Each structure stands twice: as structure tokens, then as C-alpha cells.
Amino acid sequence: MKFDFPADLRPSSVEEREEFYRKSFPREFIEDKLDRWDRFVPVVDVGSDSTRYRPRFKQYKGKLVRINEFEDLDDLKSKIVDYAPEDLYYATTIEKEDRIETNPEKELVFDLDPENVECKNCERKKKYLEGTAEEYVFCDECFGEVAEETRQLFSFLKNHFSDLQLVYSGRGFHIHVEDMEAFRMDREDRRELAGKVAKEFPIDPAITAGEKDLMRLPGSLHGLVSKIVTPMEPSELSDPERILEVVGQPEFRQVE
């Protein structure tokens, strides 16, 4: 089965991923988190979805590998270059293990993807259930719908929080809430908010509820579609075609 994406998006090769992290390791994004948070735990997927990975990492296929220890950013960079991961995430729980009790401080995030909207054009869900399409295919129509839903969710959240960051994830969008009060929300409040928002918007409620605590690292490469995870302005959401064509385009995919 082949991955069917709009705008000629395609999975990256392991060599492209290695080269990307050698040249464009997202140092500033990591430094920012290290400055503000107690802990920063990078997590890699060596290539579960594209099934492209170095043979020696075969045992990690279908798993997520936490990089719990690294000496400094150069050491972390060499580890990431070595994994040449398909996906690079971080744990959203921001406190050190020994301080994690019942309600650890956690980043509040909203994750919107094409698989959460019904699409008559690519019939993604139907084909996936029939076994005739890969799980993560999407088309420009469902992407456009997700962009519009994200625009509306962003304005809704603006009424409740002041420090929001919008990120293009490669296939959809993330909204990160950086207000301190959001980090301190307890489990019940998170669950309630996730349930409420999921009724109206195509989010993954488990991520907002904090049941899944992984988020794609801004500045990393989404190896299934060969796009850089890129912060953007909400006004850019009105032109989804442009996002697919030009936003987060890595050097190796730029037309010569």
C-alpha cells in the first residue's frame, strides 16, 4: 500500500532524516524547554509508520524510545542523528520524576488531524477500515477542513487563555497553551475540557486530557510526509493550500 498525500508529500528516507538532523537539529526549541521546564524527555519513533529505519533498530519498530539521559545538546544531537527518527516527540509532563504525584504539571495541548474528520473526497476512514488505504493518508479537502476547524478552535481558546502557540504538524495542527494555570490543571478538569472541545472540534481528546503525554517537537521533521513541524500565525490558516505547498518545506524537498 502506498501513502497517498496531497501536494506530493511523501515519506522521507532514512538518509534524508539523518541529513536533516545533522544540519537542522532543533536546538533552539529544546533550549527553550530546558530553560522553562524541570525536565525535557525526547522520545523517538525509529520508523514504525513508514517502515523505514536502520536495520539495527528493528527491535524498536512499533515502539517509542525515550531518551532519558543525555549529557548536553551536542550529545543529544548525536543520538538523534544516529536514530534518524521518523518522528521526534517530547513528554508533555514537565516535572522531574521524583516530584510527579497525582497531578503533575503538564502542557495543555490540542491535536487536530485529518483522520478526525469524515472526508467524502478521499474516504480515508472507509478505505482504512476496508484495508485498502494506509492509516495516515489524507487529501487537500480534509486538510482544508482541519485548517478551518483549527482557526475556530484557536479563537475559542483565545477567550480562555492568553498565551497560545499554533504549530503546523505536517499533517494537521497543534495548539499549545503556555499559560501557567493550564499547566496546573488537574486530571478531571483536563478530561472535562477535552470532552467538551471534542464534541465540536476534530481533536484527539486523549492528548488534551493528558492520557497520552507526547507531542511532536517544533523544529523536528515529520518523516511520514517530509515536513518540518513549524510554528505559524493563525492568519495563515486561511490559506491551507499554501501551507501544504510551502510551510515547513525541508531543504531536501525544495525544488532546484
* Residues at the interface with Zn ion (CB under 5 A): 119, 121-122, 139, 141-142
Closest distance between Zn ion and the C-beta of residue 120, in Å?
A: 8
Whole-angstrom distance, CA of residue 17 vs CA of residue 45: 12
Smallest separation (angstroms) from Zn ion to the CB of 253: 22
DSSP secondary structure letter of residue 103:
S
> Whole-number minimum distance, CB 203 to Zn ion, in Å?
18
> Distance between CA 28 and CA 34 in Å, rounded?
10
Q: ∠ at Cα 188 (209, 171), nearest 5°?
A: 10
Nearer to Zn ion, 116 or 220 (CB): 116
**Cβ 223 vs Cβ 123: under 8 Å:** no
DSSP codes joined into one string, 4-46: --GGG--PPPHHHHHHHHHHH--HHHHHHHHHHSS---EEEE-
Match 489524507 to its residue by C-alpha cell.
138
CB of 142 to Zn ion, least distance (A): 3
Q: Of 121 and 152, which has the nearer Cβ to Zn ion?
A: 121
According to DSSP, residue 120 is labeled T
Give 232's strand partners: 166
Reported as type and span, the H/E element at residue 174 is strand 173-177
Q: What is the Cα gyration radius of the chain?
A: 18
Based on CB atoms, which residue is closest to Zn ion, 6 or 42?
6
175, 166 in Cβ contact below 8 A? Answer: yes
- In whole angstroms, how close is the CB of 244 to Zn ion at the nearest point? 12
What is the closest distance, in whole angstroms, from the C-beta atom of residue 144 to Zn ion in the complex? 9
CB nearer Zn ion, residue 36 or residue 126: 126
- 134 vs 189, beta carbon nearer Zn ion: 134
* Residue with smaller CB distance to Zn ion, 122 or 224: 122
Closest approach of Zn ion to the CB of residue 140, in Å: 8
Instruction: Determine the Cα–Cα distance for residues 159 and 152; give it in Å rounded to an integer.
Output: 12
Give whichever of 171 and 190 is closer to Zn ion, judged by the CB atom: 171
